[in-house]
Structure 1
Amino acid sequence: MTQYDDIKQGEKGAWVSIAAYIALSALKLGAGYWFVSGALVADGYNNLTDIVASVAVLIGLRISQKPPDKDHPYGHFRAETIAALIASFIMASVGLQVLISAVRSIIAAEHAMPNLITAWVALFSAACMGVVYWFNSRLAKRIQNQALMAAAKDNLSDALVSVGAAVGIIGAQFGMPWLDPIAAFAVGVIICKTAWGIFYSSTHALTDGFDEKELKTFRSTIAKTKGVISIKDIKARVHGSNVLVDVIIQVDPELSLIESHQICDDIERRLGRKHNIMGVHVHVEPLEEAESPSNSTMN
């Protein structure tokens, strides 16, 4: 199965999320407005933003399947990241609206008592999103797709949000009606926090930022490759769900071109096998005489 086939498989997870969010948002908003639960309404709006985010992931996966062309020699994999960035802005705007509505309800002198039915709706929704999370996380691990794994984590957070909404609604049944708008406020905070997390990771990737700890593990793998004397420089960047690595190694100057090329192939295979990195560019330089181990020992 090729890399593009894996991305195609990832579309299944996006479609499952979209279908679940459409059904659950309609159920939550309908029940929340009918049975007067601010927490359930906020949770419903949360799912509406998730529909947009899932559609963005789906569009990104579709565009990512386009092969490289003259304008995109590395392919179109970053479409996933751009789509996620757009989704984060939409999620943040909805989260702020939920927060404003919740604060107004908290400040109000009277709070409506939500019907206990809304708590059951919230718990049912949490169970459904738990199943969706299980499906998407398994699929994401199997095809090793970071975008789908991020969507799966969002599924899990949505399940937890629904549990929180249920707690607020149940608490309101025991003489604490203010707990329902408090739960709605907490949902708004979670929406904004999720939006910020997506925004940060997307902008970090688009500006070629990379985790230094992960880069050290790549360096360690390369350094253990037979024939590599030292690593002069190493860089990595995220390209959609892929990682591209550029490394400059130093080898014995007495090696032939064929032997040096073999070292490059070994590095590519090791990074692919141990870290699932398919885009590796290795530049080979001869170890300078002043840097040779034998010369430094004589001195």
Structure 2
Amino acid sequence: MQQRYQNLKIAQKGVIISLIAYITLSFLKITIGQISHSEVLLADGSGNVTDIFSSCAVMIGLRLAQQPPDQNHQYGHWRAETLATLITSFIMLLVALSVLYSSVNDIVFGQKEIPDIYALFVGLFSGCVMFGVYLHNSYLAKKINSASLLAIAKDTRNDALTSFATSITIVGANFKMPWLDGVAALLIGLTILKTAYNIFSDSAFSLSDGFDDDLLAKYTNAVSKISGVELVHNIQGRSYGANIFVDIIIWVDPQMSVRESHHITEKIESLLRRKYGVLDTDVHVEPWDVDYEPVRPNELNSH
């Protein structure tokens, strides 16, 4: 359990790195954008300001998730991390819609201003920095299984792509190819929109107690191979942040002693924790009924 809380602190450090990058680069882009009269660089910097708020939301979520269980939250506050991830998807959605609107506007009406060429280097530098932060946080998120840090990493990747698109815009404007701006922005906007949808879908699925059927099938298959387990009668899973809780009902020999059945439950808990990283497994033991036939819903309705 202590390692789980430690992982949240590690995720916080990753978010702090993103936050520092956002603050630094937004200041740089806005300053250089004003000096070079580059509207596209100013817009990119303003987008990074928005990312500062999403990073702060994730920081708060990770902080809340570290609180221990209490009377009203017996499973802990792990879902605060998932909620923060959901908020991040909303912010990404707004950014995507803004980028798409700007791209369509540029394609229809054309680019009005030609930014100074040295603004190009700011865009390239920002893109390289943000992509480096993405690689670091993406690796860290997968290592500690942090959905919120992975969401921030994907957001950082989108910002890197946006910065590179900004550079393409500046090149196109100076070489009489303004159409590059709208096309690049359109592709970036669609990429951000897809990322936002994926993050929203995963977060909403977890918050609504959805669980991966493939994982449940793996758990069932592994538990069924344990000596003494006659049948896995029922199994359910829930995700709280990066943590998995499993409820399982097994059937055993009716003549089995309480001590033996308890030993089987310990084997199940150990197996799921060691092999699949399940944080908590609640095993309920019932006597095996060879004559049992499951009642289907349509049979219930017919009575």
TM-score range, shorter-chain basis? 0.7 to 0.9
Q: Which residue of 1 aligns with 2:297?
A: none
- Identify if the C-alpha distance between structure 1 residues 82 and 144 changes in structure 2 by more than 3 Å, giving closer, same or farther: closer
What is the 5 A alignment of 1:120-159?
A: 120-159=121-160
Moved more, 69-78 or 270-279: 270-279
Deviation digits for residues 188-218 of structure 1 (CA, Å, limit 9, x no counterpart): 3333333322222221111111222222222
Structure 2: which amino acid aligns with 1:159? A
Q: In the alignment, is the contact (CA less than 8 A) between 1:10 and 1:148 conserved in 2?
A: yes
* 1:79 to partner: Cα distance: 0.8
- Identify if the C-alpha distance between structure 1 residues 263 and 99 changes in structure 2 by more than 3 Å, giving closer, same or farther: same
What is the 5 A alignment of 1:61-80?
A: 61-80=62-81
- Identify if the C-alpha distance between structure 1 residues 124 and 224 changes in structure 2 by more than 3 Å, giving closer, same or farther: farther
* 1:2 to partner: Cα distance: 3.2
Q: In the alignment, is the contact (CA less than 8 A) between 2:158 and 2:188 conserved in 1?
A: no
- Identify if the C-alpha distance between structure 1 residues 290 and 241 changes in structure 2 by more than 3 Å, giving closer, same or farther: same
Deviation digits for residues 239-289 of structure 1 (CA, Å, limit 9, x no counterpart): 111111111112222221111111111111111111111121111112113
Q: Which residue of 1 aligns with 2:84?
A: 83
Q: Which residue of 2 aligns with 1:266?
A: 267
* Divergent runs of 4+, >6 A: none
Structure 2: which amino acid aligns with 1:58? M
Name the count of aligned residue pairs: 292
Distance 1:122 1:24 in 2: 10
Distance 2:12 2:258 in 1: 44
Q: In the alignment, is the contact (CA less than 8 A) between 1:268 and 1:278 conserved in 2?
A: no
Moved more, 20-29 or 161-170: 161-170
Q: What secondary structure sits across from 2:233 in the alignment?
A: strand
Q: Which residue of 1 aligns with 2:99?
A: 98
What is the 5 A alignment of 1:209-228?
A: 209-228=210-229
- Runs of 5+ consecutive residues of structure 1 not aligned to the other structure: 292-299
Distance 1:284 1:157 in 2: 49
* 1:235 to partner: Cα distance: 1.3
| TM-score in terms of structure 1 length | 0.86
Distance 2:32 2:191 in 1: 21
Q: What secondary structure sits across from 1:2 in the alignment?
A: helix
Percent identity over the alignment? Answer: 45
Q: What secondary structure sits across from 1:262 in the alignment?
A: helix
Q: In the alignment, is the contact (CA less than 8 A) between 2:85 and 2:151 conserved in 1?
A: no
- Identify if the C-alpha distance between structure 1 residues 98 and 273 changes in structure 2 by more than 3 Å, giving closer, same or farther: same
Structure 1: which amino acid aligns with 2:164? V
Q: In the alignment, is the contact (CA less than 8 A) between 1:13 and 1:136 conserved in 2?
A: yes
What is the 5 A alignment of 1:153-168?
A: 153-168=154-169
What is the 5 A alignment of 1:196-215?
A: 196-215=197-216
- Runs of 5+ consecutive residues of structure 2 not aligned to the other structure: 293-303
Q: Which residue of 1 aligns with 2:16?
A: 15
Aligned-pair Cα RMSD in Å: 2.5
Deviation digits for residues 121-173 of structure 1 (CA, Å, limit 9, x no counterpart): 22211221232123323433443333223322333333333333333433444
* 1:33 to partner: Cα distance: 5.0
Distance 2:47 2:199 in 1: 15
* 1:14 to partner: Cα distance: 1.2
- Identify if the C-alpha distance between structure 1 residues 150 and 264 changes in structure 2 by more than 3 Å, giving closer, same or farther: farther
Q: In the alignment, is the contact (CA less than 8 A) between 1:230 and 1:251 conserved in 2?
A: yes
| TM-score in terms of structure 2 length | 0.85
What is the 5 A alignment of 1:247-266?
A: 247-266=248-267
Distance 1:109 1:6 in 2: 48
